[in-house]
Amino acid sequence: MSNDDKAVQKAGKSLPTIKDRLQGDAFKHAIAEILPKHMTPERMARVAIAAMTRTPLLAQCDQASFFAAMMSLSQWGLEPDGRRAHLIPFRNNKTGTYEVQVIIDYKGLVELAMRSGTVSRIHADVICENDQFVYDRGEIKEHRIDFRKARGPVYAAYCLVQMKDGSEKCEVMSKEEIESVRKRSRAAMTGPWVSDWNEMAKKTLFRRASKWLQLSAEFSDALEKDMDQLEDKRFQAAKPVFTSTTEPPALFAGLPMPEVRIEQPEIPQTESKPDEKPSKPVGDSPQSKLEKAILAEGLTFDQFQAWAKETGEIPSEVDFGTFAELPAALCNRCVKAIVPITKAIKEAK
C-alpha cells in the first residue's frame, strides 16, 4: 500500500476505487507516455469505464491486475472496447479475489499486424454449409457467399494473409478443430468464446497463420501476453502483465502485483462479490437446473465433473467444488442435452 493510501486509511476515508483512479491525473499521466499519437488518455479512461459498465465484476477486481492490463493495452494502442480487446475477470482461488486478464480479439491482432508495414491484406471468415468454398493443395481457390439466402451452419473457417512482397499464406480449419482449440483455452467457457465465437474462430486461424510471418516485436509481445493463448501454451499458469524484469510504473507502486496461479475461470455475474464462493445454486439458475437433473438420475457432482473433463467440457486442470461454481454457459448446454449426458455418465460408471 502506498503512503498516500495509508494516509487515506488513517484519516478514516475510503481508498480510491478503480473508477476513481481511472478518472485521476496519475493514470492519465502514466499512460500518456506510452500511448500512440492517435489515442488520448481521456479516451482510454472512458473506454475502460465503459468496459466496467458492461462487466460490473471488473470494478471489484484486484486493482494492480486491472491497471497492469490497461498499461499493456495502452502500450499496444488497443482499446478494451469489446471489439479489439476484452478485459476479463478471473477468480484466483488461492486469494479469493478476482484478477483482470486481457483477451485480444481478431480485429486487435489484425490492427497490430497491419502496423508492422509488411502486410498488405488480411481476410478471415467462417465457411457455412451453403457457401461455395474450394481449397486445393494449400490454396484457397474460391469462397462465394449468396447473401440472398441463409448461409447455414458453420463447418470451417479460414484466414488469408497477403504480404507486400506478393507472397501469401493461408490456413483452413474445420469447426471440430477450432472447437478443440477452444477447449484447450483458459477462457474456453467465458468472455468472447461465448459471446463472439465467429470472431474467436477467425483469431484462431490468424494466430496459426502468423507463425509463418515476420511481424513486429509489438505483435509478438501482444500474442505472448494475450490471456487466451489457445493451442500455443496449454494450461500454463497465467502470468502477471509485468514480468520479473519489469518494474511497475510509479502509479501502481503501492499496489501488490499478482503472482499466484489463476486456476478457475468463471462467467462474471453482476451480483457476485470477490470474497464470495457460493456453495449452493440459487433459485432457477442454470446451475440449479443442472444439479436437479443430475441428482434426479441418482448421479453425483463428482461423476458429472469427471464426465465433463473426459469430454473436454471442463479443462482437465480445473476443479470445481459444487454445481454452483460451474459456468452458466456450460450448465445451459448440459441441461439441453441432459438425456444423452446422464446416459453417458451411467455407462462410464
Share of the chain above pLDDT 90, in %: 31
Cα 168 to its chain centre, rounded Å, is 29
Q: Which helix (H) or strand (E) holds 226?
A: none
Q: Cα 205 to the chain's mean position, in Å?
A: 16
For residues 124 and 173, membership in a common domain is answered with yes
Q: 139-172 pLDDT, tens per residue?
A: 999 999 999 999 999 999 999 999 988 888 999 9
User: Is residue 336's pLDDT more than 90?
Assistant: no
Spell out where 27-182 has E strands. 85-92, 97-104, 119-128, 132-136, 139-144, 154-163, 168-174
Whether residue 162 lies inside any domain: the answer is yes
**Domain assignment of residue 292, given as a range:** 286-348
Predicted confidence at residue 160, as pLDDT, reads 95
Together in a domain, 181 and 329: no
141 and 55 in a common domain: no
From the CB of residue 179, how many other CB atoms can be counted at a distance below 10 Å? 16
Q: Does residue 145 belong to any structural domain of this protein? A: yes
Q: Are residues 117 and 193 in the same domain?
A: yes
**Does the structure show a pLDDT above 50 at 248?**
no
Query: Are 95 and 122 contained in the same domain?
Result: no
Residues 26 and 46 in one domain: yes
Question: Based on the domain organization, do 113 and 71 belong to the same domain?
Answer: no
Spatial CB neighbours of 344, under 8 Å, sequence gap ≥ 6: 307
- Flag whether 248 is in a domain: yes
CA–CA distances in Å: residue 17 to residues 62, 71, 95: 10, 17, 19
| pLDDT interval class at 210 (50, 70, 90) | confident
DSSP state of 20: H
Distance (Å, rounded) from C-alpha 258 to C-alpha 241? 9
What DSSP element (H or E) covers 182?
helix 175-184
The answer, yes or no, to whether residue 231 has pLDDT greater than 60, is: no
Which carries the bigger pLDDT value, residue 13 or residue 173? 173
CB 344 within 8 A of CB 313: no
According to DSSP, the residues that pair with 154 across neighbouring strands are: 128
Split at pLDDT 50, 70, 90, the class of 257 is very low
Q: Is the model more confident about 78 or about 268?
A: 78
Quick one: 14 and 38 in the same domain?
yes
Mean pLDDT score of the chain: 79
Distance, in Å, from the CA atom of 60 to the CA atom of 2, rounded to the nearest integer, reads: 19
The answer on 176 and 114 residing in a single domain is yes
- For position 256, what pLDDT does the model report? 44
Q: Which of 253, 225, 229, 255 is nearest to 315 (CA)?
A: 229
Lowest-pLDDT choice from 144-148, 152-156, 214-218, 245-249: 245-249
CA distance 43 to 23: 11
At residue 101, the pLDDT reads 87
pLDDT value for 302? 87
Give me the number of domains the chain comprises.
3
Tens-digit pLDDT profile for residues 7-46: 545 555 678 899 999 999 999 898 988 898 888 999 999 9
Contact (CB, 8 A) for 74 and 252: no
In a domain, 98, yes or no: yes
Q: Is residue 9 part of a domain?
A: yes
Distances (CA, A) of 189 to 8, 44, 98, 185: 39, 27, 16, 9
Question: How would you class 78 by CB atoms within 10 Å of its CB: exposed for 0-12, middle for 13-18, buried for 19 or more?
Answer: buried
- Residue 124 included in any domain: yes
Q: Do 120 and 97 reside in the same domain of the chain? A: no
Among 58-62, 72-76, 130-134, 311-315, which is the least confidently predicted range? 311-315
